[in-house]
Copies of this chain bind each other. A is one copy, B any other.
Amino acid sequence: MKPTLPKGTRDFAPHQVLKREHIFAIIKRVFSSYGYAPIETPAMESLSSLMGKYGEEGDKLLFKVLNNGDFLAKADEGAMKDRNSDKVVTSISKRGLRYDLTVPFARFVAMHRNDLQFPFKRYQIQPVWRADRPQKGRYQEFYQCDADVIGSDALIYESEFIQIFDTVFAELGLEVKIRYNHRQILLGVAQYAGVEDQFVEMTTTLDKLDKIGEQGVLQELDYRGISNDSGVKILELIQETDSAIFEQKVGSTEAGKQGFEEINRVKSYLSHVELKNTLTLDPTLARGLSYYTGTIFEVESTETPMGSIAAGGRYADLTSLFGLPDMSGVGISFGAERIYDVMETLERFPQDVSNTLTALILPMDEESIDTCMHLARKLRDHNVSTDVYPGPAKMKKMMKYANSRAVPHVIIIGEDEIKSGQYMLKRMVTGDQVSLNLQELIESLVG
């Protein structure tokens, strides 16, 4: 039987797991320092919790788990006769694999509301599954990495998330630009241009400015029923380089005034804080406005083109889907898979992050193995990752294995070494060898 994996899934070898854990460890540490606590939810949710939450397309991309046992016994007879797959599904499947961490979080909060203290700050780093067509860089199983605070509309959290973005990427050794915007500022732009009724059309089009340019935006606005005059007014406004003028104009509208009050409050909470990356108000930023109700964020690398590597925003009503209304919150998500790719491209992983072995001990003969095991134990007790070659074998063979494992230190032990209590330590990078007693050897490797 030929070993295979389902399309769109992948294994992670040790060096990949260790690099991924490097990213997760930094994100977790920063989340924790800001008072976010980890939760975990099961891979399988009730299909009824998932269906209808991600649009029609999303429903199709959900992985559904077959009911166990004689699932056909309860299958929808009519749908079976018609061979209607879509209609049969819910009668033979009660569970689905989680599609994101947001809906499970909403379900978690609603379900455990009586055990939680609000505002509730949680982070969650777990895989999600989507039946997307597999392609380069897109997988059917991938990790999401979310933090949310729910149950407060205080703006301190927006300022915290900006700091979290800033700190995480600084600790990863990546330079980013953090862009933000506010739904009410965008609405203010629409009010200023007199197209409030076409708010959605306006924002959807503006979001493409980078891709399709000014002329493209004007054409699309026109197509969507926004006049050329209004289009020009909008473009002039959002491309205003003097931020004071932009604020004055947009702030003259009702929505814009509220938007600027909020983001100025957020900036005030950052007034004593030194950011390492740039933070820019970008009035074209219009992500997730069907969902976000306040500030929105997007983070990109300034060093390599990769698109958004982290994002988020303020929402008003996440948990009402599960019967718990009026819970405002803010949430962000790190795109761990893309961050991994950026780190690889820019070679920012620490050099020793994927070292799986610090020392390899080579026994010269059968009689030396007990001593090898003893020495290995001493090193292991000091958390030095150590292996004993399952020999004895020819020196050439053992050294070949040492090289293939890229181990930085090799220790050779035979009759002479045991008698003298002096062990030979070979540093593989430089090739130099030193003779050390047990204590010196431990000190040299524990370093």
List chain A positions with a Cβ less than 8 A from chain B.
Answer: 1-6, 9-14, 17-18, 21, 29, 32-35, 37-46, 48-49, 60-61, 63-66, 68-73, 75, 80, 83-85, 88-89, 92-95, 97, 107-108, 110-112, 115, 117, 119, 121-122, 127, 129, 131, 140-141, 152, 154, 156-157, 159-160, 163, 167, 268-273, 321-323, 356-357, 369-371, 373-374, 377, 379-381, 383-388, 390-391, 401, 404-405
Contact = CB atoms under 8 A, between A and B. Distances in A.
Given A3-B49, A64-B65, A322-B1, A270 B93 contact: no
A35 B159 contact: no
Contacts of A83: 72-73, 75
Contacts of A374: 272-273
A333 to B, nearest CB: 18
Judged by DSSP, the binding face of A is: mixed
B112 A85 contact: no
A384 B33 contact: yes
A63 B73 contact: no
A407 to B, nearest CB: 9
A73 B85 contact: yes
B9 A42 contact: yes
A160 B189 CA distance: 68
A157 to B, nearest CB: 7
A11 B33 contact: no
A151 to B, nearest CB: 9
Given A3-B107, A6-B45, A156-B388, A272 B115 contact: no
A371 B323 CA distance: 37
B38 A111 contact: no
12 contacts: A1-B49, A2-B323, A3-B108, A3-B110, A4-B46, A14-B37, A34-B386, A42-B141, A43-B43, A44-B63, A72-B84, A154-B390
A440 to B, nearest CB: 19
A73 B46 CA distance: 25
A255 to B, nearest CB: 23
Contacts of A167: 380-381
B383 A5 contact: no
A71 B85 contact: yes
Contacts of A65: 63-66, 97
A377 B163 contact: yes
